[in-house]
Homo-oligomer: A and B are copies of this chain.
Amino acid sequence: MEEQDKNIQFKISNELIEKVELLVNSQDDKTILELLNDYHHADIAEILEELKTEQSTYIIKLLDSEKTSDILMEMDDDDREKILASLSIKEIAEEVEELDTDDAADIIAELPEERQEAVISQIEDEEHKAEIQELLTYDENTAGSLMAKELVSVNENWTVTECVKEMRAQAENVTRVHSIYVVDEAEKLIGRLSLKDLLMASPRAHISTVYIPKVDYVKVFEDVEDVAKIMQKYDLEAIPVVDENKILLGRITIDDIVDVIKEEADKDYQLAAGITQDVEADDSIIELTKARLPWLFLGLIGGIGAFIIMEGFQSSFEKYAVLFFFTPLIAAMAGNVGVQSSAIIVQGLANDDVKGSINNRLIKEMLLAALNGVILALFLFGFVWATKGDFLTALAISVSLVVVIIIAGLIGTFVPLFLDKKGIDPAIATGPFITTSNDIFGILIYFWIAKLILGI
């Protein structure tokens, strides 16, 4: 039972990776097979990700396609792409043959266009081929793109005995049964049977007398994020997918939804940090630059904007150089408050927690920002007055701080709500976008108010 304790410390050790490398280099196929036989495909995927592409391809070609198809599915997109590029059309078709339709379609969609058709034409199982071709027609981010064709469905006219017999046949192709869907003669979804109910039903009962007519489902063109929300809300582990006429097309399982939730969270996090594309720490410097540089450039433009504003006030404030020394403070506070308020709205929108009108939101944020602003400004006032001894300067700086914080909070609240209303992902409003615009507005407001109070 070695496998079991390995799962507990589920990180692959460097020793193991080195051992596999050595075995591959010495082409000791027998020992490789023996060694890897003990490991779960998710673990083997992790090992392969650490090897050079030639080495991992060597292992993929060595192992059985039943196992390698699962391994490939567990690997990072980039690493998988490299391996697929060194496999022949026929070898890829063999992997695809072993996979469930949803995974098969995903793999094919990742291939260069010219190889896609070739791989599909090599799939021997005609039904599998047709199902994969159907799945490839659905747009990314729709329920159809996430569903698998594998499911267990029974006809309402069958008896429990017939149903169990049919299910045995169908279940061979289905990794996890979850629910049994009940359809009418036209394949229209009319209800479900739980395995538990089936276990307890009399063998001669007709399905029409034991099935549950209430069944949650989603339409095939539904957005995947909405599917994720529905499955989370109703604690579903699988949901059937139907077309406009309620004809049963496939089903989505919770493991795919977990991936959607993770990806969505990762994307929002990256946007908030000013990283556009989906990159990982291990991506190339070019990839990382593509994801990071545009936002930095935005920040640079913002900084130049701040420079122009400050230069414009240069003549007015020759006597008050001290005001210029507080611009980083003002910019930082405007940025921080903006990020805080936008993050709360973005997260609230993602969780459907934001209720009430935009006006109420803005009034609440104004009060909140005013409260925080006054507390911070009192502290700053004390500092400036104590160190500079100039009441009016201290007053000008701290009053500006309060106003800047309030306006930054309002911008941070308004922008994501506005984007959301316009159908644009509000997550884009967090991070550098809000920081940069708040920097500029903050500094501008700061000098205006200082000018007013100091009577320049």
Q: Hey, which chain B residues are within 8 Å of A376, CB to CB?
A: 293, 296-297, 300
Is A344's beta carbon under 8 Å from chain B? yes
CB-based contact B281/A348 at 8 Å: yes
Known: A195-B195, A303-B328, A375-B293. A258 touches B261 (CB 8 A): yes
CB-based contact B300/A199 at 8 Å: no
In whole angstroms, how far apart are the Cα atoms of A235 and B71 in the complex? Answer: 13
CB-based contact A306/B285 at 8 Å: no
Q: How far is the CB of A74 from chain B (nearest CB, A)?
A: 8
CB-based contact A270/B307 at 8 Å: no
Is A4's beta carbon under 8 Å from chain B? yes
Is A272's beta carbon under 8 Å from chain B? yes
Q: How far is the CB of A138 from chain B (nearest CB, A)?
A: 17
Q: Hey, which chain B residues are within 8 Å of A176, CB to CB?
A: 237
Q: How far is the CB of A302 from chain B (nearest CB, A)?
A: 6
Q: Hey, which chain B residues are within 8 Å of A348, CB to CB?
A: 280-282
Interface string of A342-353 (1 = CB under 8 A from B): 111101100111
Is A3's beta carbon under 8 Å from chain B? yes
CB-based contact B273/A168 at 8 Å: no
Q: Hey, which chain B residues are within 8 Å of A262, CB to CB?
A: 232, 261, 265
CB-based contact B333/A335 at 8 Å: no
Q: Hey, which chain B residues are within 8 Å of A371, CB to CB?
A: 285, 289
Is A288's beta carbon under 8 Å from chain B? yes
In whole angstroms, how far apart are the Cα atoms of A230 and B43 in the complex? Answer: 11
- Among B199, B354, B379, the residue within 8 A (CB) of A281 is B354
Nearest-neighbor residue (CB-CB) of A259 within chain B: B232
Interface string of A300-319 (1 = CB under 8 A from B): 10111011001100100100
Q: Hey, which chain B residues are within 8 Å of A168, CB to CB?
A: 199-200
Q: Hey, which chain B residues are within 8 Å of A424, CB to CB?
A: none
Is A155's beta carbon under 8 Å from chain B? no
Nearest-neighbor residue (CB-CB) of A253 within chain B: B237
Is A436's beta carbon under 8 Å from chain B? yes
CB-based contact B333/A296 at 8 Å: yes
